[in-house]
Structure 1
Amino acid sequence: MTPEKVPGRVVGQITRGTTNTNRLRRVDRWIARHPALRRATDPLVVDLGYGASGVTAFELEARLRRARADVEVLGLEIDPSRVARAQAQLAEIRAGRGQFAPDARVSFARGGFEVPVADGRRAAVIRAFNVLRQYDESDVADAWQRMSARLHPDGILVEGTCDELGRICTWVEVGADGAPRSLTVSLRLRDLDSPAVAAERLPKALIHRNVPGEPVHAFLAALELEWTRAVAASAFGPAQRWRAALTALDAAGWPVASAAGARSRWRLGEVTVPWRTVAPHA
């Protein structure tokens, strides 16, 4: 991995900085119910690579505080100008000007994959979204290792990507040991033509593996097939069609219901499978 040549010990490359309000709502609500946050002794959550605006960090704190009132969100960016802008936004919010709570437990600092956190603290959750898209697939494992090394032993790294409006999202859960655990696909079901649309927003570790012979291709093809077969259920709404498709996948032996509470998430357009189900061939 080639670090951006900027002063200091920051590791990583400056991203495009694309930021949209509500873009990360799907992954935020997934994090909000995760045991890594709910059971954390120190609910520190890092928003790594938040982009040109600090809005995703503010939204993350607002959503997570419903599950953990003591949650704290640290936004990290490599570009000093982005940090300065986010800090200016924070000052406005502290002054009561804005839609977020003036007492929001949010801060911003400069940092990259090394995830600098003061006082030796370790994050319960690191969310790194749309950060690795510009890297090579060969860089992913190293990035996961660097970030996960800054986690609490029970913490998680959530690394993924989404479209500009947050209607198509996919992410990988990675443990503190740097090993991937699962892949989640989350889609806006209203007006969804095909779940195969998720292929264009797969995480960097998988996006180039969506070809015949690779496990992720087989999974998406099976999901697309069952979605097509479940067309009759669309008379009862897209959520019912999605549920019918996933029920059929489960019956066919795909482990779409293996995670705790998996079925309850189906209504949200989510499906999670163990990493072994989609892990790339060597």
Structure 2
Amino acid sequence: MASRVPPPPSRPVGTVTRGTTNPNRLRRMDRWIAAAHGAALRRADDPIAVDLGYGAAPWTAVELLLRLRTAAPRARVVGIEIDSERVAAARPYAREGLTFRHGGFEVPLPARPLLIRAANVLRQYDEDAVAAVWERLCARLAPGGLLVEGTCDEIGRRHVWVALGPEGPRTVTFAARLASLDRPSDLAERLPKALIHRNVPGEPVHAFLRDFDRAWAAAAPYAAYGARQRWIRTVRDLTADWPVLDRSSRWRQGEVTVAWAALTPRRG
């Protein structure tokens, strides 16, 4: 007998977030997505992206559409919010390629999206809840799709995110406005929920940030040429011991992307 498809939830899955948002807050994540996932969006027949939990104002969804369309002109964005009042407030900002819907982690769309971005959504959840949310969201992705989940500060100067495919987590990206950075471990306060409580001795992410700081200190002479050149030299040195996956063109943006497997939390 054929298995039954379970009915959709009768109410959105998840809890209401604080909704804090600011224009341009997610620019670093958006630009990375456009660079890393733009080709997949261009190839898709219907390149749908979801801004999940966009907050009290729709700025991040509006900006995501603009940035994705620099890489994939046919991209469409659906902003999904669990707070129905926020959805109603956002709808006047709808336009060609941009709509808003009431929902949560169930991602209530008839078609599977090629991208789900969830920024500053899981911060309020328990660490133990993250894996189930990731699994649920990844199950909603179209083939070749990407989930990007992470945390940033209020004006987007410091940001860390995890990129996941249908099979699970792939990479972790650290991004910063370099002029405001004293040392790379300043990014620790913006680690995603899956990692933030693991920044303790004996955990891989702690070792990574320790080595990042050491390489930053060793690259101090390059500060004479600017923070960007110091960062590039730092990341180049990191590649000797850590699986850095991107190239200097991304390092110049104040980014570095590392394989998730190298930072996976230890059990217990």
The sequence identity of aligned pairs, in percent, is 57
> Alignment RMSD, CA only?
1.3
Relative to structure 1, the CA distance from residue 236 to residue 211 in structure 2 (aligned partners, 3 Å threshold; closer, same or farther) is same
Residue 157 in structure 1 maps to residue 147 in structure 2? yes
State the match for 2:6 in structure 1: none
Give the deviation of 1:198 after TM superposition.
Answer: 0.8
Residue 255 in structure 1 maps to residue 246 in structure 2? no
Q: Which amino acid aligns with 1:77?
A: E
Give the deviation of 1:17 after TM superposition.
Answer: 0.1
Residue 79 in structure 1 maps to residue 83 in structure 2? yes
Residue 276 in structure 1 maps to residue 261 in structure 2? yes
- Give SS of 1:268's match: coil
Q: Equivalents in 1 of 2:44, 2:157: separation in Å?
A: 29
Map 1:128-139 to 2 at 5 A.
128-139=118-129
State the match for 2:101 in structure 1: 109
Q: Does the 8 Å contact 1:190/1:238 carry over to 2? A: yes
Over 3 Å off, 4+ runs: none
Give the deviation of 1:40 after TM superposition.
Answer: 2.9
Q: Does the 8 Å contact 2:185/2:213 carry over to 1? A: yes
State the match for 2:250 in structure 1: 265
Q: Does the 8 Å contact 1:32/1:38 carry over to 2? A: no
Map 1:182-201 to 2 at 5 A.
182-201=171-190
Map 1:1-282 to 2 at 5 A.
8-35=10-37, 36-90=40-94, 103=96, 105-118=97-110, 121-177=111-167, 179-251=168-240, 253-256=241-244, 259=245, 261-282=246-267
TM-score by length of 1: 0.88
Q: Does the 8 Å contact 1:31/1:37 carry over to 2? A: no
Q: 1:111-154, CA deviations, whole angstroms, 9 ceiling, x for partnerless residues?
A: 10000112xx1111100000000001100010001111110121
Q: Equivalents in 2 of 1:39, 1:140: separation in Å?
A: 30
- Give SS of 1:117's match: coil
Give the deviation of 1:89 after TM superposition.
Answer: 3.0
Q: Equivalents in 1 of 2:10, 2:257: separation in Å?
A: 38
Q: Which amino acid aligns with 1:44?
A: I
TM-score by length of 2: 0.93
Q: Equivalents in 2 of 1:38, 1:26: separation in Å?
A: 20
Q: 1:247-272, CA deviations, whole angstroms, 9 ceiling, x for partnerless residues?
A: 11113x2111xx2x432100011001
Give the deviation of 1:197 after TM superposition.
Answer: 1.0
Equivalenced residues, count: 257
Unmatched runs of 5 consecutive residues or more in structure 2 = 1-8
Q: 1:85-119, CA deviations, whole angstroms, 9 ceiling, x for partnerless residues?
A: 000233xxx5xxxxxxxx4x10000010000112x
